[in-house]
A = this chain, B = another copy of it.
Amino acid sequence: MGEGMRVGVVGATGQVGTVMRRLLLEREFPIAEIRFFATARSAGQTISFGDRDVVVEDVETADPAGLDIALFSAGATGSRAHAPRFAAAGATVIDNSSAWRMDPDVPLVVSEVNPHAVDEARKGIIANPNCTTMAAMPVLKVLHAEAGLERLIVSTYQAVSGSGLKGAEELASQVRAATEQNVLGLVHDGAAVTLPQPVTYVRPIAFDVIPLAGSIVDDGERETDEEKKLRNESRKILELPELLVAGTCVRVPVFTGHSLSINAEFAEPISPERAEQLLAAAPGVELADVPTPLQAAGSDPSFVGRIRTDQSVPGGRGLALFISNDNLRKGAALNAVQIAELIAAKQPAA
């Protein structure tokens, strides 16, 4: 490590932080100095990074001075507490939480969709979108440019790793319990299964789906925060403040990979063939006959397929399609690192 940026990863020991560290190495991000931060519980441990050993610092007490970029995956509370301090010390904060996304002085950036917005970081903070919204943006951007997006109806199939390690552990423990009872293949009746009491989710997640991802927002609209993020973040990223969006966010027993079933309505007609032609050339997008989260897990692109004319929209102005994307990579860590790359590319050569 010599020339390059001085980079911090905040929340370095968590699920997304771990992927951030891996991606910085994989993508050969130009690093002059690397620092890892976490809460007091994880501070003090040593993590190897390439050929270096890095001692994790306590984010509460560490001095952020000297950092160029701070990649935050510390939750909304951690981000509200610490991101302004890191920004004030001179770092550009790239934040993975929901804390700053709707702040008009904080750009919300998908690297392939609105990279120009990184220049509008008036608080020194750039926000990374919600993982579900993220998956759809590279696809919808090119379709919007062609035909003028007017309305989105979305049902999601969200992986448990979107709830952090505890989500994956809850699914795994319930599956193990079912396996030990030898009820697999006999489970034709809910009564036959005795699963551990759910903790992370309001219902069992093994061999089940839960149509409540996130928490109901107390504004009388009965939507979850996930469903509101899908609307508000799509509008901000696509720069379509009036876009009509209805989402139903559902958790499914998948470890990694968020999927969306989308019915999109446009101002102009657009055929499935034309959509495929555009998407074949779109950055961050890969066409698939039958996109699945297991295919997407461990990969970068948003896989998109099952593209059809929505037969319920007059005049060929509707498309139905299905998207799967790795919620920990593009949905979180990868896009954050890509934003860091946009910033690094703007620096004068050392």
A residues near B (Cβ < 8 Å) are 15, 151-153, 155, 157, 161, 168-169, 171-173, 175-176, 179, 184-185, 187-193, 202-204, 207-212, 221-223, 231, 244-246, 248, 250, 252-257, 259, 261, 263, 272, 290-299, 305-313, 318, 320, 322, 328
Contact = CB atoms under 8 A, between A and B. Distances in A.
Given A168-B188, A208-B293, A318-B246, A312 B252 contact: no
Contact of A290 (B210, B298, B322): B210
Contacts of A312: 151-153, 244-246
B212 A290 contact: yes
B293 A209 contact: yes
A309 B222 CA distance: 8
Nearest to A152: B312
A243 to B, nearest CB: 9
Contacts of A309: 221-222
A267 B230 CA distance: 27
**5 nearest CB pairs, A to B:** A172-B185, A155-B155, A244-B312, A155-B261, A189-B298
A222 B188 contact: no
A164 to B, nearest CB: 12
A257 B211 CA distance: 14
Contacts of A187: 168, 255-256, 297
Nearest to A290: B212
Contacts of A157: 157, 209, 250, 252
Contacts of A313: 246
